[in-house]
Amino acid sequence: MDWVNHKLYWCNNEIVEGELVGSIRRCDLDFSNIETIIDGTTAQFLALDPQNNHVYWTDWRAGNRILRAELDGGNLTEVIVSDTTIPSSAQHRARGLSLDLANDKIYWTEGSFGVFRANLDGTDIEHLIDAVLPGAIIVDEASSKIIYAIANSTISPSLFTADLDGTNIQPIVSVISFVTDLEFADIDPSIAGDMNWDNQVGIDDLLLFVGTLLNPDELLCNRQRADVNGDGDTNGLDIASFVNCLLYPCP
């Protein structure tokens, strides 16, 4: 999700006449204006850097390559070609992908090797963690951690966390199937307080806002909209911010 330019990006892969073909597409946040920005690539994981006008992705057919282009698909560049590339084996392909924009780093997983990182321009590749069949990965910039998934025949499919340099590995939870992706909730700040989804904050939102504060089991999407002060929690501290949004439209 690109909140800066209000765009949604996704991988679009399909079988056509027995061949895997794919593209990267994007649209507006209301799902209008669908366009193909990159054609002829079988992208598996995407990561966006809107501030620098870049989209990164791993290509399923390209072995251990990570590619980058501008957000409109222009200026396609090969960023990472790992020394462990064995294109004939799916077990050695780049899988998960995540960006640490605070430190200008890119993190990815390789099927039979583990977790890697490099600078955003592809220099200074580091092999951080040895692991078999790592999958999805995400950088938690707030806590300076990475979270990654493992699934193989010797251990239960699980989620692990580690420091950004790969040290201090800790299991988080065991899961029952292979984790294909990891994402944090990415909420557009402009929806704060808009409880009835009409793209504005008004008196009609008041009862829904109060109901969400009183009901801790309220739907996640409602709790996120009621978190008007943006502190990650929905509680009485949001009341003043909600009233302010009623009187003065929130930015």
Of 110, 149, 148, nearest to 126 by C-alpha is: 110
Question: Which domains are seen in the chain, by residue range?
Answer: 7-174 (2.120.10.30), 189-247 (1.10.1330)
Residue type, 144: S
This prediction has a pTM of 0.69
Say which amino acid occupies 61. Answer: R
Environment class of 61 (CB within 10 Å of its CB; exposed 0-12, middle 13-18, buried 19+): middle
pLDDT of residue 173: 75
For the packed helices 238-247 and 206-214, what is the interaxial angle rounded to 10 degrees?
Answer: 170
Q: Which pLDDT value is given to residue 83?
A: 52
Q: Is residue 233 within 8 Å of residue 213, measured between CB atoms?
A: no
Q: Which of 142, 51, 61, 148 is nearest to 96 (CA)?
A: 148
Could you tell me which residue, 109 or 186, shows the higher pLDDT? 109
Q: How does residue 92 score in pLDDT terms, banded at 50, 70 and 90? A: low
Q: Of 27-36, 78-87, 233-242, which range is least confident? A: 78-87
Compute CA distances 67 → 38, 124, 153, 157, whole Å.
Answer: 11, 16, 30, 28
The DSSP 8-state label assigned to residue 194 in this structure reads -
* pLDDT tens for each residue of 41-83: 888 889 999 989 999 998 876 566 889 999 999 999 989 875 5
Least confident of 136-150, 180-194, 227-241: 180-194
Q: Which residue has the higher pLDDT, 144 or 214?
A: 144
Question: What is the chain's mean pLDDT, rounded?
Answer: 79
Least confident range of 2-16, 28-42, 67-81, 97-111 = 2-16
Q: What pLDDT shows up at residue 184?
A: 58
Instruction: Tell me what pLDDT residue 85 has.
Output: 43
Token pair, residue 227, equals 């978190």
pLDDT value, residue 23: 92
Token pair belonging to 167:
């040290």
* Own/partner pairs, 240-247, CB within 8 angstroms, 24+ separation: 241/192, 241/193, 242/193, 242/201, 242/209, 245/192, 245/193, 245/201, 246/193, 246/201, 246/202, 246/203, 246/206
Helix (H) or strand (E) holding 247: helix 238-247
Q: 192 versus 150: which is more confidently predicted?
A: 150
Asked if 224 and 185 touch (Cβ cutoff 8 Å), the reply is yes
| Cα separation, 60 vs 6, whole angstroms | 27
